[in-house]
Amino acid sequence: MLKVCKFGGTSMADGNVINGVKKIIESDASRKYVVVSAPGKRYSGDSKVTDLLYKCHSELTEKGNCKESFKAVRARFVSIVKELNIPFNIEAVLDETEKLIVSENSEDFIASRGEYLCARIVAEVLGAKFVDAYDVVFFKEDGSLDGAKSYKAISEAVSGANSAVIPGFYGKGTDGRVKTFSRGGSDISGAVVARAVNATVYENWTDVSGFLACDPRIVDSPVKIKCISYKELRELSYMGANVLHSDSIFPVRKANIPIKIKNTFNPADEGTSIVPSSRYVPSGNIVTGVAGKKNFTVIFIEKSHMNAEVGFICKVLTVLMDEGIPVEHIPTGTDTMSLVVDSGYLKKEKLEEIVSKIKTAVSPDTVRVLEDVALIATVGHGMSSSVGTSARLFNAIANANINIKMIDQGSSELNVIVGVNNDDYENCIRAIYYEFFR
């Protein structure tokens, strides 16, 4: 048994919490490799260290130094070391870091220092080897992770070490400078380390006891998901469930390494297991979860004999590709097709330009645009094997008096996606949840 544990920002918030983390790690000898985030909020209204560091970057850009903003970062780390009561000269490391921040002067470098400093401290607390992510996590020219190179470097760096601590969130770009993942990216780092050492499980320690079947801000106390497949999670996390960075399943999924979401503040809680479909344990519920996202735009295109026109869809999609706009869904009919696009990519002029280019490319009979659409995904492996699930879903939505603007069922029968008005979003989620979970 070999476990890689990633601890999120709230698990690193102060010295007491870090002592709790130490206990968790020491209670299980297979928890050998640890990835950490930068310290998060201690209480509501507090600042995350990474946010303080982004402020340092802004101050540096404006004034040529970041003395004011760095004070808050310094205070956080000094107090953590004090609370831990360890003989670690944090002031010296902070002095050096402050100098490097000014000389490196890059946003990614500055943002990465929260994880760097935190990992230095945790390595000290655990008496573990510190492995700098800069030396072992690599990005490719296009900004994506260089998996093969990283896995090799990580496994070499930790081989022989009894335990190791690696900062999350960053690595080295092809230009030799520090580069970060997107926000929340320490989850990805944890997955990369798990894959590199071929862990039995990747434990992701956070401040909640796993995934809930839907957003608790919309439904009161939704049920917890005990087991979810990578595929189901992709459908749900992509739509907005945000306990785990949605990119973090890719490295482990290829090696069939399960992820376990655990709660640092309630370690005995079973948490949620994310597993390959072959190891999926059905809960008995047809639906695993319901999640969604507001603000999509639907571009509806109609043309007689569209089905017979070779290359029609390709020409339409080329327009969006040339503009660098990703398409979320493409529901089609015999003479119709719709493009569902995240509205964030379509500011007013852009939308007009796209519509006009589509008109030129395929001479459609009609092009209509529908804005303020919310997409809601109902996801579950159980859906493919039970008759009448869609009927129940649509009935529930109809009974809530909600008009469905668009339907898309993935061919895997794993999910049904409906598009409704933004204003109906919360009600629609509630209607679906009550139908399948109450």
Closest to ligand ASP by CB, 66 or 379: 66
Closest to ligand ASP by CB, 118 or 136: 118
Residues at the interface with ligand ASP (CB under 6 A): 9, 37-38, 48, 50, 114, 168-169, 183-187
Closest to ligand ASP by CB, 114 or 292: 114
Q: What is the DSSP letter of 225?
A: P
Closest to ligand ASP by CB, 185 or 271: 185
The nearest distance, CB 113 to ligand ASP, in angstroms, is 10
Q: Give the CB-nearest residue to ligand ASP.
A: 186
Report the amino acid identity of residue 379.
V
Q: Are 328 and 341 in contact (CB under 8 A)?
A: yes
Give the pair of three-digit tokens for residue 27: 């209670």
The nearest distance, CB 182 to ligand ASP, in angstroms, is 8
Closest to ligand ASP by CB, 38 or 431: 38
Cα 169 from Cα 113, distance rounded (Å)? 10
Give the pair of three-digit tokens for residue 192: 């990369």
The nearest distance, CB 382 to ligand ASP, in angstroms, is 32
Cα 31 from Cα 37, distance rounded (Å)? 17
Cα 76 from Cα 22, distance rounded (Å)? 19
Closest to ligand ASP by CB, 225 or 244: 244
* Residue linked to tokens 């790690």: 25
Q: Are 184 and 10 in contact (CB under 8 A)?
A: no
Q: Are 334 and 303 in contact (CB under 8 A)?
A: no
Q: What is the DSSP letter of 223?
A: P
Closest to ligand ASP by CB, 117 or 225: 117
Closest to ligand ASP by CB, 165 or 375: 165
Taking alpha carbons only, the member of 82, 84, 112 closest to residue 97 is 112
Cα 173 from Cα 161, distance rounded (Å)? 26
Going from the C-alpha of 82 to that of each of 16, 85, 318, the distances in angstroms are: 10, 5, 58
Report the amino acid identity of residue 330.
I
The nearest distance, CB 187 to ligand ASP, in angstroms, is 6
The three-state secondary structure class of 415 is strand
The nearest distance, CB 186 to ligand ASP, in angstroms, is 3
367 Cβ partners below 8 Å, 6+ apart? Answer: 299, 300, 301, 302, 355, 358, 359
Going from the C-alpha of 93 to that of each of 39, 90, 149, the distances in angstroms are: 16, 5, 29
The nearest distance, CB 246 to ligand ASP, in angstroms, is 13
The nearest distance, CB 340 to ligand ASP, in angstroms, is 28
The nearest distance, CB 37 to ligand ASP, in angstroms, is 4
The nearest distance, CB 47 to ligand ASP, in angstroms, is 11
The nearest distance, CB 274 to ligand ASP, in angstroms, is 17
Closest to ligand ASP by CB, 54 or 437: 54
Q: Are 299 and 290 in contact (CB under 8 A)?
A: no
Closest to ligand ASP by CB, 50 or 272: 50
Taking alpha carbons only, the member of 240, 273, 198, 203 closest to residue 376 is 240
Taking alpha carbons only, the member of 315, 314, 308 closest to residue 360 is 315
